[in-house]
Chains A and B, each alone.
Chain A
């Protein structure tokens, strides 16, 4: 069975995303060429704002993996990493980036010019284990880069107390001290405040855009969720704010016009876990039967407002919360978020991606499914797949299950 690998995007601004992505990677290479320090770092923490405030260039190897998947490069990368002894049972992000680093990193055909080599690496403890291990491999691969080992102990959002915040704040100061020493630049705290304000503005816009998904029909679906690229790579810059403002304006207008992503929206769906980056077209596969993926768990990671009165503490709190919000660090909080989301967005059914490449998000899904059924009467299905490795996904099996699920939901809604 053949299916469209790329999602169909209805927003003109979402279609502009390719240009935003290309410009970001161009900027990364320009920075390298001009001698601006390039630092590789994990996403979903406060380091990005510190980098932009110090006019340093952040690069996100984890984010590079979805790009590789979209360009169909992952099979070749997996071949390299698995040849080095990395087990197929490991996260696909890890296997992909290792394969890229030790494979075609400097190849002629690498899209977007690939990633410029790092001068700085923010290795870390915290977040998930595969992400930590990715950065340990980077340390080996780039022995000349200056290494900062960040520490972000894992704590559930609802359990965060003053001593957790105090430690995260001390890590922010330590990072700034390291960057000042390594690059010879000085942190301008006024500039940092401006960057954090921009970051918070992006979060505000993000929340506003997501809120328009409450409209029936929804003016934006998971097919357009690639817009989160700017939340990963551009937080703290006017670029993110400008792009999201345009997205917001378009979504707002579509909502006012009653324009849905499909003409006849019958069923509203929730998606749990990371998308299948090599087959984003899957989101559209429900549409032939009137289903639209209206909300998802992953977007919650960017729904974090920052208290701009204390930029350092705001970034410390962001670093503590982002991973916790979407992982098994707090299944209880995630359950509350999913239930709220399903209520707010008038969800009819949920799709749980049991993701072989991500145990932290997959763990807890059974409890959330149960709560959805018992508390809200919302049915759900589980699909077995992998956000990076298409060998762990059967499209035919998915299609059969998705069709049966949609038929059941349509029957339930008496269509």
Chain B
């Protein structure tokens, strides 16, 4: 649980998300859900919609099994379970930037089973070429057309304003991440995940105000004592439960950096190049710190190694959603590349109840001991 004063507003935003979003919907705001951060939220926002990342959360899966098999990731199972339990009764629809097979399938399963006025999957290109950029502009234009049909409007300057807003948010998060990694901000990994996730479910204008207050908090040297533990990096997909990161901290490990889609990948890079907001959006999409679902491990490996080097991490903890094909498929190659550089790693799978089994604590303890021994040698 986050009790830290700085994080309290974000923690509160997460706890009250449903009430706030229902209230926004009751005011006539159309709320659109998405699963992956490859979704062009700026376009949804510019059209007058409120983009919200769907949460899964911990808990049982019962009703969802009438529609999906058990061998898909817990995040997708839980989100469907929530939808079938009317947890997202504030949603007008679903817009998803295409990432993995399961997210794609779930968009269509939601479409057939959850009342919505729009369900749209944005087919993103994989290569960065002149033609693929042209194609991306076209599919974003198509999305704007579809949004216009459900009441969206894109007045002059709207996309520019939304782009600037989200860019400021991403810059603030990048700044926080960097300062945290350098030990200049008193936020642990669990706190940071809470801060990032609050942004997925909060109006961006309000969220930016919250972030500005946090960013303006003083650097240590002003009384913040450095945190202790062996520095590690966590890498994986969706980590919603801050307790998972807190558990790592309890075993003598200090998460100094991340490669998570609920973390650094969601705001890196902060901006893009181009003469228009649409061009900048296209450029940023092409240059994103990539998810395994959209990239070759050879592209990710140097980036992950860079994070390890910059943060001073001594090891990597892979936190996987069980059955997450993109991450599991890349893992042998990525972990081997780390090993080749003398960077040890472990992998831990999470199910819908959180960490997969009770052995995790023992494994973390062993990993911590191994890193400690390596430090001493």
A359 x B101 contact (CB < 8 A): yes
Give Cα A140 to B336, complex, Å: 13
Interface residues of B in 22-69 (CB under 8 A from A): 66-69
B351–chain A nearest beta-carbon distance, Å? 12
With A86-B329, A129-B325 already in contact, the answer to whether A327 and B101 are too (CB < 8 A) is: yes
CB distance from B101 to the nearest CB of A (A): 4
A103 at interface (Cβ–Cβ under 8 A)? Answer: no
Q: For B120, give the chain A residue with the smallest CB separation.
A: A159
Is there an interface contact between A153 and B71, defined as CB atoms closer than 8 Å?
no
Nearest A residue to B297, CB-CB: A136
Is B127's beta carbon under 8 Å from chain A?
Answer: yes
Interface stretch of the complex, out of A60-68, A69-77, A363-371: A363-371
Check A89/B104 contact, CB under 8 A, given A153-B123, A154-B98.
no
Also in contact, A328 and B135, with CB within 8 A (given A125-B294, A164-B123): no
Contact of B279 with A by CB under 8 A:
no
| CA gap between A147 and B124 in the complex, in Å | 21
Tell me, in angstroms, the Cα distance from A89 to B327 when the chains sit together: 11
Bound Cα distance from A91 to B112, whole angstroms: 26
- A128–B67 touching, CB < 8 Å: no
Within the complex, what minimum Cβ distance (angstroms) separates B77 from chain A?
11
A133 to B129, CA, bound (A): 21
Nearest B residue to A356, CB-CB = B71
- B98-143: which residues lie under 8 A (CB-CB) from chain A? 98, 100-102, 104-106, 108-109, 111-113, 121, 123-127, 129, 131-132, 134-135, 138-139, 142
What CA separation (Å) do A231 and B68 show in the bound complex? 31
Indicate if A112 sits at the interface (CB-CB under 8 A): no
Output the least CB separation between A123 and chain B (Å): 8
For residue A151, which residues in chain B have a CB less than 8 angstroms away from its CB?
A: 125-127, 129, 132
From residue A214, how far is it (CB to closest CB) to chain B in Å? 28
Say yes or no: A140-B333 contact (C-beta < 8 A), given A153-B126, A163-B135, A167-B131: yes
A363 to B101, CA, bound (A): 9
Contact, CB under 8 Å: B98 / A153:
yes
Stretch in contact with the other chain, from A181-189, A308-316, A329-337? A329-337
Q: Counting CB contacts under 8 A, is B326 at the interface? A: yes
Contact of B331 among A85, A130, A136 (CB under 8 A): A85
Contacts of A136 in B (CB 8 A): 296-298, 333
B contact residues around A149 at 8 Å (CB): 126-127
1/0 per residue B278-303: CB within 8 Å of A? 00000000000000011011100000
Q: Is A281 positioned at the interface, with any CB of B under 8 Å from its CB?
A: no
- List chain B residues, Cβ under 8 A from A331: 105, 108-109, 111-112
Cβ contacts under 8 Å, B330 to chain A: 133
Asked whether, in the complex, the Cβ of A130 is within 8 Å of the Cβ of B126, the reply is no
Which residue of chain A has the shortest Cβ distance to B331 in the bound complex?
A85
Question: A197 at the A/B interface (Cβ < 8 Å)?
Answer: no
> Which residues of the other chain, A, contact B67 by a CB distance below 8 angstroms?
366-367
From A130, A139, A161, A166, contact of B329 by CB (8 A): A130
Are the C-beta atoms of A363 and B68 separated by less than 8 Å?
yes
Which of B71, B106, B134: most chain A Cβ within 10 A?
A: B71
- Considering the chains assembled together, what is the distance between the CA atoms of A151 and B128 in angstroms? 10
Cα A329 to Cα B296 in complex, Å, equals: 22
CB distance from A404 to the nearest CB of B (A): 20
Minimum distance in angstroms from B49 CB to a CB of chain A: 20
Tell me which residues across on chain A come within 8 A of B121, comparing CB atoms: 154-156, 329
By a CB distance below 8 angstroms, the chain A residues around B66 are 366
> Is B170 in contact with chain A by the CB < 8 A criterion?
no
Return B240 CB to nearest CB of chain A, in Å.
Answer: 20
- For chain A residues 129-154, which have a beta carbon within 8 Å of chain B? 129-130, 133, 136-137, 139-140, 149, 151, 153-154
B-side contacts of A171, CB under 8 Å: 131
Is B335 touching A163 in the complex (CB atoms < 8 A)?
A: no
Residue in B closest to A328 when the chains form the complex, CB atoms: B105
Q: Decide if A87 touches B331 in the complex (CB within 8 Å).
A: yes
Whether the Cβ atoms of B125 and A167 lie closer than 8 Å is: yes
Interface residues of B (CB under 8 A from A): 66-69, 71-72, 98, 100-102, 104-106, 108-109, 111-113, 121, 123-127, 129, 131-132, 134-135, 138-139, 142, 293-294, 296-298, 322-323, 325-326, 328-333, 335-336
19 other A-B residue contacts (CB within 8 Å) besides A329-B121, A332-B108, A363-B105: A87-B328, A87-B331, A89-B323, A90-B329, A129-B100, A129-B325, A139-B296, A151-B125, A151-B126, A153-B98, A153-B124, A155-B123, A164-B135, A331-B105, A359-B325, A362-B69, A363-B106, A367-B67, A367-B113
User: Which 4 residue pairs of A and B lie closest in terms of their CB atoms, listed nearest first?
Assistant: A125-B126, A363-B105, A328-B105, A163-B138
